[in-house]
Amino acid sequence: MDAFYSYLLPFILLSVSLFLIFRFHKRNFGASKLPPGKTGWPMVGENVAFAMSGPEKFICDRMNKYSAQVFQTSLLGEKMAVFCGATGNKFLFSNENKLLTSWWPQSMKKALLFPSFVENSLKEVTALKRSFMHDILRPEALRHYIPIMDSMAQQHLEAEWAPHKEVKILPLSKNYTFALACRLFMSIQDPDHVARLADSFALVTSGLFSVPIDIPGTAYNRAIKGGKMVREELLAIIRHRKNELLENKDVTFHDLLSRMLLVTDENGEFLNEKEISNNIIGLLVASHDTTSTAVTFVLNYLAELPHVYTMVYKEQMEIAKSKGREELLNWEDIEKMKYSWNVAREALRLAPPGQVHSTHKNPKYFTNPEKFDPSRFEGSGPAPYTFVPFGGGPRMCPGKEYARLEILVFMHNVVTKFKLEKLIPNEKIIFHSSPIPINGVPVRLQPHEE
């Protein structure tokens, strides 16, 4: 899972998305030392129970039944332990390569990676080093992304929102976040090209966390096919860019793809095309589901809670009025969005894209946990390892700052243009790789007067 964790844009921690788990190998632990719990039926494990109850209830029920610290289960064809509470979070985030290592279930590797990488360890699959990712995701580098994010958000709202009286937030958020990732990471701007990639990724993400039975007609089989299409498309993109760089064409690229083609490892070797594809897949999968889910729930709460929307609108309009008519957002503007970011963090607490549920709604850590209250994040904020949508400690997601910028820029553009009226007050939430509002959060748009 390190590819997701490291290249994360956003939330993006599939180690966290997999419910803060790591694999227990029986050869390393005697049966007497295994945590309490059950693993369910062979192959199926407890996938059905997880799907029926959702991750929050699934985890809370087992915490109450077996242990509030750790329990065992079986999901995605793998036996695993789920660590719970702030202590469990700290243990996981502080002991990488000491007492545990990150991993991907075999079923995930089969869907996402080239066949030649499926049996490799996660360290071998992860070609790029964290130092490289930190370099391109540090605040100084991300400053240059803000005007592009702002410009693309404006264009997206003008084309996909403004012509309509009612829209569904979730599919439009997916369109925006995926298109932005394609633009920033690979300089792909053609809408048809972006749509082709997005359609293939939708197959992958919709079946990635299903029961791993690869027969025609199953969601997992569609994920396998979608992954193959994605890999083929990425290889074509990588080879085309490689040829452009080799031929020294009069084209300048400052995106992640060009950086990966030009970087060398500790032995001075360039990354091969499949290694680059593996890393881009980690980025794009994260962009397709987790970031769009975060944006969706932030806007969902703004539509649901008028008093919160009013406060965000006031803060964002002060920033908008300080700008020239055609002037794009910059780093200084983002730093002024303090209340808006508290709202976003509260949305991430209540509806974490990575489905971390052992602390976020625990009254031990958050008073009146079901209440939407951005003031929780004022001052020093929550206790360490209790609010973990981006991981924590040594395992803090390096894409956290990218996620913050993307969410805040989109919030700014939406609230300064529209007031949102939620059309389905108690919309049902289902769970795939992230929590999904079943109707896509339909809202009525009320444009602000110029």
pLDDT over 60 at 17, yes or no: no
| pLDDT class of 126 with cuts at 50, 70, 90 | low
Q: Which two tokens stand for residue 66?
A: 């077996």
Say if residues 167 and 161 touch (Cβ distance below 8 Å).
yes
Block residue for tokens 């809202």: 443
Question: What tens digit of pLDDT does each residue of 133-174 get?
Answer: 656 677 777 888 999 999 999 999 999 999 999 999 999 999
Q: Which two tokens stand for residue 375?
A: 């003031």
Domains of the chain plus CATH, in order, are 2-108 (no CATH), 130-447 (1.10.630.10)
Span 306-319, average pLDDT: 98
The secondary structure of residue 20, as a DSSP letter, is: S
SS percent in the chain: helix, strand, coil, step 5: 55, 10, 35
Question: What tens digit of pLDDT does each residue of 255-271 get?
Answer: 888 888 887 766 777 88
pLDDT over 60 at 115, yes or no: yes
Q: Which two tokens stand for residue 429?
A: 């939430």
Grouping H, G, I as helix, E, B as strand and the rest as coil, residue 431 is: strand
HEC per residue, 99-165: CECCCCCHHHHHHHCCHHHCCCCHHHHCCCCHHHHHHHHCHHHHCCHHHHHHHHHHHHHHHHHCCCC
Span 348-368, average pLDDT: 88
pLDDT over 50 at 22, yes or no: no
Q: What is the predicted pLDDT for the residue at 351? A: 92
d(CA 387, CA 385): 6
* Weakest-pLDDT range from 137-141, 209-213, 228-232, 440-444: 137-141
Say if residues 283 and 9 touch (Cβ distance below 8 Å).
yes
d(CA 222, CA 199): 12
Paired strand residues for 295: none
d(CA 356, CA 368): 18
Q: Is 355 left (phi over 0), alpha (psi -120 to 50) or beta?
A: left
Handedness of CA 308, 309, 311, 312 (dihedral sign): positive
Q: Which two tokens stand for residue 228?
A: 């193959």
Span 347-362, average pLDDT: 87
pLDDT mean across residues, the chain: 84
* Weakest-pLDDT range from 198-207, 211-220, 278-287, 314-323: 278-287
Q: What is the predicted pLDDT for the residue at 123? A: 59
Annotated binding site: 397
More confidently predicted of 384 and 55: 384
| pLDDT class of 121 with cuts at 50, 70, 90 | low
The amino acid sitting at 380 is S
| pLDDT class of 309 with cuts at 50, 70, 90 | very high
Question: What tens digit of pLDDT does each residue of 33-79 get?
Answer: 888 998 888 777 888 888 778 788 888 899 999 988 899 998 877 78
pLDDT over 70 at 375, yes or no: yes
Q: Which two tokens stand for residue 315?
A: 């803060």
pLDDT over 60 at 4, yes or no: no
Question: What tens digit of pLDDT does each residue of 389-415 get?
Answer: 887 777 777 678 888 999 999 999 999
Torsion angle defined by CA atoms of residues 335, 254, 398 and 339, in that order, rounded to the nearest 10 degrees? 20
Handedness of CA 35, 67, 436, 294 (dihedral sign): negative
- 252's CB contacts (< 8 A; 6+ apart) are none
Give backbone dihedrals phi and psi of 30, rounded to 5 degrees, phi first: -70, 155
Q: What is the predicted pLDDT for the residue at 387? A: 92
Block residue for tokens 């958000």: 153
Annotated binding site for heme: 397
User: Mean pLDDT highest for which of 14-23, 100-109, 118-127, 157-166?
Assistant: 157-166
pLDDT over 70 at 125, yes or no: no
- 323's CB contacts (< 8 A; 6+ apart) are 329, 333
pLDDT over 60 at 238, yes or no: yes
